[in-house]
A = this chain, B = another copy of it.
Amino acid sequence: MSSIKEVARLAGVSVGTVSNVLNRPELVAQETRLRVQAAVAQLGYVRNGSARHLRAGRSRTIGVVALDLSNPFVIDVLRGVEAAAETADLNVMVVNSSKDAAREARLLEMFEEERPFGVLITPVNAEGQDRRLGRLVARGIPVVVFDNSSRQGRGCAVAADDVLGGRLAGLHLRERGHRHIAFAGGPFTVRQVEERHQGLAGAMTPGDRLTVIPLPDLTVATGRTAGEQVAGLSRADRPTAVFCANDLVALGVLQELTRHGLRVPDDVAILGYDDIDFAAAAAVPLSSIRQPREQLGHTAALMLLEEANQPDFHEHRQVIFQPDLVERASTARAR
């Protein structure tokens, strides 16, 4: 209820002095400082964020537009963001576009009004949001795109090398003796999906067989349909391994194969992507391509800080992380 004015009155000083006590205490004589602090305590005074932000021109909040909060992958990225934000004394405001472009647009409009410290975003699609992001940047709000490197060269971005991830998957499965591999994922307009597939294909050898099971989306539900397709194939046509575009799909495939009495990995091996915690927790623990999730978020936040603090001196850049393979039971060597 009480504002800085009342604190000033109670302490018998001007509001400017109270502000100094709060923000640059070394400028204030000790006796005065103590008097002000006592007044603050007595009134239970708390600074008004809106007023501060108005004066400062921007708030101390980083806005994060997540693509899909129900993918645990994102939660871990957020953890990294929060860690970086905390050391810089910034807040993190998470909002969820749920892969909905209209919703994303609304959220970005909201951020335009709120003048946040910066915005981290995984855009729904590569083109549509460019204009809107450009408007943010024009307003002096730094933007870093994470987990989506399609805006090459246009601004700061952090992502993982999905082609490499796909290649690692392919090499691993081949090394395990698989010569007929299926790729389950989609839509291929999503960069990640396309690149993971591309990496897999590149790791295969003439004579190998690659079956693509296109999916409209990367969820457990679509994974189940993929699993059903695989289970329905004759033994000769059935791939001996399925590489899934993410772990949610892999869980769906695993469930359906199990339900049809196929053994994992003996009949069909499964390899996922992202290494979410639930992958390790599956009944047959899933092998998966791991991305440095927390680090991804952490780095994105640091780049944002840099851009915000040295707006003139700053040069945009793209950081690409290397994924690696986590081997578990679902791709164990057949007995």
List residues of A whose CB falls within 8 A of some B CB. Answer: 1, 44, 46-54, 59, 61, 69-70, 72, 75-76, 78, 82, 91-96, 109-110, 112-115, 135, 138-140, 220, 248, 251-252, 254-255, 258, 277-278, 280-285
User: Chain B contacts of A92 at CB under 8 A?
Assistant: 95
Query: Do A251 and B50 have beta carbons less than 8 Å apart?
Result: no
Q: Given A51-B54, A72-B72, A255-B283, does the pair A94, B91 have CB atoms closer than 8 Å?
A: no
In the assembled complex, the CB of A241 is this many whole angstroms from the nearest CB of chain B, namely 17
B255 near A115: Cβ-Cβ < 8 Å? no
Q: Which of B52, B54, B70, B139 contacts A75 (CB 8 A)?
A: B70
B282 x A283 contact (CB < 8 A): yes
Q: What are 22 inter-chain pairs, A to B, with CB distance below 8 A?
A: A1-B138, A1-B140, A44-B135, A46-B112, A49-B114, A50-B51, A50-B53, A51-B54, A70-B72, A70-B75, A70-B76, A78-B96, A93-B95, A94-B94, A94-B95, A220-B277, A220-B278, A248-B281, A251-B282, A252-B281, A255-B281, A255-B285
Q: Which among B46, B50, B220 is the interface contact of A59 at CB below 8 angstroms?
A: B50
Q: How far is the CB of A112 from chain B (nearest CB, A)?
A: 5
A112 contacts across to B, CB distance below 8 A: 46
For the complex formed, measure the closest distance between the CB of A127 and the CB atoms of chain B, giving whole angstroms.
20
Among A76, A82, A138, the most chain B Cβ lie within 10 Å of the Cβ of A82
A114: which B residues are within 8 A, CB to CB?
49-50, 91
Nearest residue, chain B, Cβ from A95: B92
A49 lies within 8 A of B96 (CB): no
Closest residue of B by beta carbon distance from A220 = B281
Partner of A282, one of B54, B61, B282: B282
A246 to chain B, nearest CB (A): 13
Across the two chains, which residue of chain B brings its CB closest to A140?
B1
Pick from B49, B110, B277, B281: contact of A115, CB under 8 Å = B49
Q: A54-B54, A59-B50, A75-B70 are in contact. Are A283 and B284 (CB under 8 A)?
A: yes
CA of A118 to CA of B110, assembled, Å: 18
CB-based closest 4 A-B pairs: A283-B283, A50-B53, A50-B54, A49-B113
How far is B54's CA from A47's CA once the two chains are assembled, in angstroms?
Answer: 12
Q: How far is the CA of A50 from the CA of B48 in the complex (A)?
A: 10
Contacts of A248 in B (CB 8 A): 281
Give chain B residues whose Cβ lies under 8 Å from the Cβ of A49: 113-115
Q: Which residue of chain B has its CB nearest to the CB of A252?
A: B281
**Interface residue from B75, B93, B254, B280 paired with A93 (Cβ < 8 Å):** B93
Q: Are B277 and A70 in contact (CB under 8 A)?
A: yes
Q: A261 CB to closest chain B CB, in angstroms?
A: 12
Chain B residue numbers with a CB within 8 Å of A135 are 44
- Determine the chain B residues whose CB is within 8 A of the CB of A54 once the complex forms: 48, 50-51, 54
Contact in complex: B78, A69 (CB < 8 Å)? yes
